[in-house]
Amino acid sequence: MIPNKIKKGDLIGVVAPSNPIIGENIEEINNAKEIVQKDGFLVKFSKNLFENTNQYSNSPTKKAQDINDMFANENIKMIWCAKGGQNSNTTFDYLDFDLIQKNPKIICGYSDITSLTNIIYAKTGLVTFSGTNFKTIATAETNYAYEQAKKIFVEGEKVLGNDEDKYITIKQGTATGILVGGNLSLIRGLVLGKYSLDFTDKILFIEELGLETPPALASNYLYYMKQNGVFNKIKGLWIGNYENEEGISLEKIVLDTIGDEYNFPIIKSNNFGHIEKNTVIPIGVKAQIDTSEKIKIKLLENCIKL
């Protein structure tokens, strides 16, 4: 199930499923609103956007209420998550997945937000998006991520990134599968339990913030995934940005974890994750990895209704 594209004059709803919007974030969110409105869109902040009920986060019920309200509001054509953090998963028990399924629309964010977007896809079949958070529109040093969002959500393109993005082959091969993924630590949290992903026949994309996850912890996450059968199920792996003080790459940690035990292709690019070049990646759309090509991954179907 793919959402409709947006056009100038459409109303975009902003929600904060993760960390609270406090301090300098308030100005950043308002600056992002100005940028988006100058481009011809309308912006509506959710009712509880600036609340911080628990003093470290807004309450799960209020955060979920904002998401449910945005899906229920027929005037809202897209939902943009304000920023990342640590606990968007607190909303899960309070989301109305039937409501979301009956009112499909774009929902986008990255970092901790990929926990939310992957679960919405898993529970409803709605294609969601890993891409720039709303705040980052105002704080990024370049407009790469915002332009990528407009390319996908407004123009309806299905080309990932741009021609200047570079891809590296870590392990050769071809594979076709449904895209799922995002921040490594969050995907690790979706391996088992009530809110988990089905990794069967998926192309998994992962990135990580090195400031919060040093190499040994990234190894922990990957081994947990290996020990619970994730790499037995996926068709391919796409590695994004990961920078740390030790200078150890995520692709090295991946290979240290899986060695030669699996036959799926692995590619690497620095065009998604906690980085200025943050490509929009649809979650729930069929894609193909082909390591013989310059652009080593492509979408095989539309992610937006034209």
3 state SS for the chain: CCCECCCCCCEEEEECCCCCCCCHHHHHHHHHHHHHHHCCCEEEECCCCCCCCCCCCCCHHHHHHHHHHHHHCCCEEEEEECCCCCCHHHHHHHCCHHHHHHCCCEEEECCCHHHHHHHHHHHHCCCEEECCCCCHHHHCCCCHHHHHHHHHHCCCCCCCCCCCCCEEEEECCEEEEEEEEEEHHHHHCCCCCCCCCCCCCEEEEEECCCCCCCHHHHHHHHHHHHHCCHHHHCCEEEECCCCCCCCCCHHHHHHHHHCCCCCCCEEEECCCCCCCCCCCEEECCEEEEECCCCCCEEECCCCCEC
The 10s digit of each residue's pLDDT in 281-293 is 999 999 999 999 9
| Confidence (pLDDT) at 129 | 97
| Confidence (pLDDT) at 141 | 85
What domains can be seen in the chain, in order of their start residue?
11-153 (3.40.50.10740), 167-299 (3.50.30.60)
d(CA 171, CA 267): 7
24-37 average pLDDT score: 95
Residue 276 binned pLDDT confidence (cut-offs 50, 70, 90): confident
Residue 275 binned pLDDT confidence (cut-offs 50, 70, 90): confident
11-36 average pLDDT score: 95
Q: What percent of the chain has pLDDT over 70?
A: 100
| Confidence (pLDDT) at 158 | 87
The 10s digit of each residue's pLDDT in 67-105 is 999 999 999 999 999 999 999 999 999 999 999 999 999
What are the backbone angles phi and psi of residue 236, rounded to the nearest 5°?
Answer: -165, 165
CA angle, 15 then 17 then 19, to 5°: 110
Quote the pTM value: 0.94
| Confidence (pLDDT) at 277 | 87
The 10s digit of each residue's pLDDT in 149-180 is 999 999 998 889 888 889 999 999 999 999 99
217-239 average pLDDT score: 97
CA quadruple 22, 211, 162, 122: dihedral sign? negative
Residue closest to 67 by CA, chosen among 47, 42, 37? 47
Is the CB of residue 269 less than 8 Å from the CB of residue 154? Answer: no
| Confidence (pLDDT) at 12 | 98
Using the predicted structure, report yes or no on whether residue 208 has a pLDDT greater than 90: yes
The 10s digit of each residue's pLDDT in 110-141 is 999 999 999 999 999 999 999 999 999 999 88
